[in-house]
């Protein structure tokens, strides 16, 4: 118990001083029993191949036994011993203007009632990827661009290699369109993943015309939550997982987009059931 308390205190203290990575991207890994985990990867000038506490990376305990859902980055088959037993974050060295290829390794397993794993992504312009099995893409070879998902029904395949290509990355946020002006923010929804409701938060520096809408992965508008003039300030909006007609939407990956004039910011979220 003493070790657990000390570990918890250390985790909280390092999280309190963690900095936001220059480029923070997300994978959502879920099973069809309603379990989900968000994994973070991307670039920062201060990142290394190992565990970077300053970027909120923490080495995890050993992988749980079968029947317990889990998904994490590991380094077993890509000879990346620096990551230890694995982490939910795996940032690598890179700064504005970076171009290059970085390889990650994923390990996952479904919960006791799950029979398939789904991996979802939402990549900004200038970032593409490839998910493939460690046999050279014989079983899985899935290109990653923009937003998408892949479902794996063969749970004997519990590891994938993710090769990410960065092409002159200049941005520090997950977005579509120009970056919002200083003082305007769209935060990550909480909780995420969620069921059945989640909160979307944004901030305005000045009075503005605002549109906050939700889209599915096919680019179709699902629901408009805000559409009109708002005074400067911080706002929270609840989404109940229903579409514009009040019907419950299917579980999966969704995008929420904040438009202020011609400026746009987009983030992703995962609804589980």
pLDDT tens string, the chain, 273 residues long: the values are 433 333 333 333 333 445 678 888 999 999 999 899 999 999 988 899 999 998 889 999 999 999 999 999 999 999 999 999 999 999 999 877 788 999 999 999 999 999 999 999 988 888 999 999 998 899 999 999 988 899 999 999 999 999 999 987 754 334 444 444 556 888 889 988 888 899 999 998 888 899 999 988 777 889 999 999 998 888 999 999 999 999 999 888 888 989 887 778 888 888 887
pLDDT at residue 181 in the model = 52
Could you list the beta-strand ranges (E) of 81-232. Answer: 89-93, 98-109, 117-122, 127-132, 141-145, 147-152, 159-169, 185-186, 198-204, 208-215, 221-230
- Planar angle of CA 116, 37, 115, nearest 5 degrees: 10
Is the link from the previous residue into 193 a cis peptide, with omega within 30 of 0?
yes
pLDDT at residue 157 in the model = 95
C-alpha closest to that of 186 among 163, 205, 167: 205
Residue found by looking up tokens 């998904």 in the block: 71
The structural domains of the chain, ordered by start, are 2-169 (no CATH), 185-271 (2.60.40.1930)
DSSP 197: -
C-alpha closest to that of 197 among 142, 257, 237: 237
pLDDT at residue 182 in the model = 59
């Amino acid at each position: 118990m003493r070790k657990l308390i000390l570990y918890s205190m250390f985790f909280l203290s390092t999280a309190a001083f963690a900095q936001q990575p220059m480029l923070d991207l997300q994978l959502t890994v879920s099973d069809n029993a309603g379990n989900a985990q968000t994994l973070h990867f991307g670039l920062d000038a201060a990142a290394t191949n190992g565990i970077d506490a300053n970027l909120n990376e923490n080495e995890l305990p050993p992988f749980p036994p079968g029947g317990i859902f889990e998904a994490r980055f590991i380094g077993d088959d890509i000879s990346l011993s620096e990551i230890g037993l694995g982490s939910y974050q795996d940032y690598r060295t890179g700064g504005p203007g970076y171009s290059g290829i970085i390889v990650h390794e994923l390990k996952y397993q479904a919960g006791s009632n799950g029979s398939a794993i789904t991996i979802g992504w939402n990549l900004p312009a200038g970032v593409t990827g490839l998910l493939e099995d460690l046999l050279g893409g014989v079983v899985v070879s899935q290109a990653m661009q923009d937003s998408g998902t892949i479902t794996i029904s063969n749970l004997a395949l519990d590891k994938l290699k993710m090769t990410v290509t960065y092409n002159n990355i200049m941005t520090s946020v997950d977005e579509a369109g120009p970056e919002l002006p200083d003082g305007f923010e769209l935060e990550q929804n909480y909780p995420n993943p969620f069921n059945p409701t989640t909160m979307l938060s944004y901030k305005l520096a000045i009075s503005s015309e605002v549109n906050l809408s939700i889209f599915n992965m096919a680019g179709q508008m699902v629901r408009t939550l805000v559409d009109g003039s708002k005074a400067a300030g911080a706002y929270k909006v609840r989404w109940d997982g229903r579409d514009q007609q009040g019907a419950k939407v299917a579980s999966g990956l969704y995008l929420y987009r904040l438009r202020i004039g011609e400026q746009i910011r987009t983030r992703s979220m995962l609804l589980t059931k």
